[in-house]
Structure 1
Amino acid sequence: MDKNKEAIYGTIGWIDLTVPGAENVKDFYAAVTGWKPEPVSMGDYNDYNMTANGEPKAGVCHKTGPNADIPSQWIIYINVPDLEKSVAAVEEKGGKLLTEIKSMGSYGRTCYIEDPAGAVCALFEPA
Structure 2
Amino acid sequence: MEEAQNSFVPGTILSADVTVTQSETVRDFYKKVIGWKHSDYKRGGYTDYFMTTEDGQPVAGICQRAGSLADLPPVWIVYFGVNDLKASLEECRNLGGKVLSEPQGEGRGSYAIIEYPEGAICGLSQI
Q: TM-score by structure 1 length?
A: 0.85
User: How many residues align structurally?
Assistant: 124
Distance (whole Å) between structure 2 residues aligned to residue 95 and residue 15 of structure 1: 20
- Percentage identity across paired residues of the two chains: 41
Equivalent in the alignment of 2:30 = 29
Residues in 2 aligned to 1:31 and 1:38: alpha-carbon distance in whole angstroms: 15
Once the two structures are superposed, the pairs formed by residues 89-108 of structure 1 within 5 Å of their partners are 89-103=91-105, 108=109
Letter in 1 for 2:122: C
Deviation track 1:70-103 (CA, whole Å, cap 9, x = no partner) reads: 2211011111111111011111112111122222
Cα pair distance change 1:107/1:40, threshold 3 Å: farther
> Where is the helix percentage greater, Structure 1 or Structure 2?
1
- Spell out, residue by residue over 1:44-64, the C-alpha distance to the aligned partner (whole angstroms, 9 max, x if none): 322111111221211111011
Q: Give me the whole-angstrom Cα distance separating, in 2, the residues matched to 1:106 and 1:94.
A: 25
Does residue 10 (structure 1) correspond to residue 11 (structure 2)? The answer is yes
Q: CA deviation at 1:107?
A: 5.6
Letter in 2 for 1:12: I
Match of 1:72 among 74, 84, 93: 74
How many Å apart are 1:41 and its aligned residue? Answer: 2.1
Which 4+ stretches in 1 moved above 6 angstroms?
none
Decide which moves more: 116-125 or 7-16.
7-16
**Cα RMSD (Å):** 2.2
TM-score normalised over the length of structure 2: 0.85
* Structure 1 unaligned residues grouped into runs of 5+: none
